[in-house]
Amino acid sequence: MFKVAVLPGDGIGPEVVNEGMKVLKALSENYSVQFDFQEMQINAERFLNTGKLLTVEDVEALRKFDTIYLGAIGDDRVQPGVLEKGILLNLRFTFDQYINHRPAPLWKPFGRLKRDVDFNIDVFRENTEDYYIGAGGRVNDGHGKLDLRVKRNLYDMRVTLQADADAKDDFAFEIGMMSRKNIERFADFVISYAKLVNENSLIVVDKANVCSNIYGLWREVWTEKCKQANIQLGFMFVDAMSMALVKNPDKFRIVATPNMFGDILTDLLAEVTGGLGLAPGGNINPKGISMFEPVHGSAPKYKGMDRINPIATILAAKLMLDNLGRRDLGTVVNNAVRATLDQGIYTQDLGGTYKTHQVGDAVVAAIRKMK
Ligand code: IPM
Ligand code: MG
């Protein structure tokens, strides 16, 4: 029995998560697997009513689960950053989910490229450091001191920044940071995944030609790790990479990126594969509680309309199954999604006419038929 904490979140989150749960429940009919779903409301609505983001009690409660299934977090009524940092990033950091796995296979015939190229890329985005650490602040009139703190499982660090400028201006800082141990464990995971899928090379993205401190350390560790593991390593600057992913996605198989660039590249790549409606992500802590969600956000304007594509969230459930050690069932879900699309059953974002719940039903029907 897998205990699954379900966080439907905001906007269209509840609708898509509902389809994902339907699919998981359908597996229990024919395969030896059981899920115990428990929904928790950790979202904008609760924040607006109570001021609570992710509380200590939430974290305590979540620790009792095997895994977390998340819809989407985000609401126009709340200033950008509040929910994202207070809930989503907080979850990723608190549960030390240092890997963000975002598979990007071409979903024929929905690929957006004019040329017919086949590809299947797994992007691994570092998920707890880089420019996402939330360490920064303002210095007004050119003078100020920032007392910053970055707390992770691996370390609890204080950073003090004393700024004294000769210009009477306002300055804002956002500090990026990476640690050797974190890059090491991230690289270990990516390398073991490469071996699992019989790949002996990988591409690592950065901007070491400009941010040479942070990505200098990153390169150093990757070079060591790949050498030890006998993996062929290539580095790409993120600007060239964004071009290459459109021009020659078929040249890539396993790609590792820092947090911020991974955020950007995976939206780009999702479009190339067929659209954001097809792109899932897994926030993984190999020894802890992982969390699975679509790459897309809460799309508030489509809330309650039953028209959003649930496939990204259904594929997030597939990643969850893989991660829970049931790759066999992950494959079942993936095949059922493929069969559904092949039958012409898809939502408007892919040019279809089907509703959210009809796509979920079709995936369920495909699972039943497969046994
Ligand atoms: C994503 C999202 C988040 C991120 C936001 C909502 C904080 O864009 O999961 O890609 O930047 O990681
Ligand atoms: Mg993003």
- Three-state DSSP class for residue 278: helix
Tokens describing residue 282 = 């897994």
CA distance 70 to 295: 11
Residue 299 contacts residue 73 (beta carbons within 8 Å): no
The answer as to CATH 3.40.50.300 being correct for domain 1-97+286-371 is no
pLDDT in tens, the chain (371 residues): 999 999 999 999 999 999 999 999 999 999 999 999 999 999 999 999 999 999 999 999 999 999 999 999 999 999 999 999 999 999 999 999 999 999 999 999 999 999 889 999 999 999 999 999 999 999 999 999 999 999 999 999 999 999 999 999 999 999 999 999 999 999 999 999 999 999 999 999 999 999 999 999 999 999 999 999 999 999 999 999 999 999 999 999 999 999 999 999 999 999 999 999 999 999 999 999 999 999 999 999 999 999 999 999 999 999 999 999 999 999 999 999 999 999 999 999 999 999 999 999 999 999 999 97
**Nearby residues for ligand 2 (ion, Cβ within 5 Å):** 263
What ranges do the domains of the chain cover?
Answer: 1-97+286-371, 112-129+178-273, 131-175
DSSP-assigned letter for residue 365: H
Give the number of the atom of ligand 1 that is nearest the alpha carbon of residue 127: 12
CB-count exposure of residue 75 (10 Å: 0-12, 13-18, 19+): buried
Buried b (16+ CB within 10 A) or exposed e, 319-336: bbbbbbebeebbebbbeb
The rounded Å distance from CA 65 to ligand 2 centre is 25
Instruction: Give the CATH architecture of domain 112-129+178-273.
Output: 3-Layer(aba) Sandwich (3.40)
Nearest alpha carbon, ligand 1 atom 10: 263
Residues 6+ apart with CB under 8 A from 214: 130, 176, 177, 178, 258
Residue 272 contacts residue 280 (beta carbons within 8 Å): no
Q: Which pTM value belongs to this model?
A: 0.97
CB-count exposure of residue 312 (10 Å: 0-12, 13-18, 19+): buried
Q: List pocket residues of ligand 1, CB cut-off 6 Å.
A: 84, 88-89, 263, 295
The rounded Å distance from CA 141 to ligand 1 centre is 32
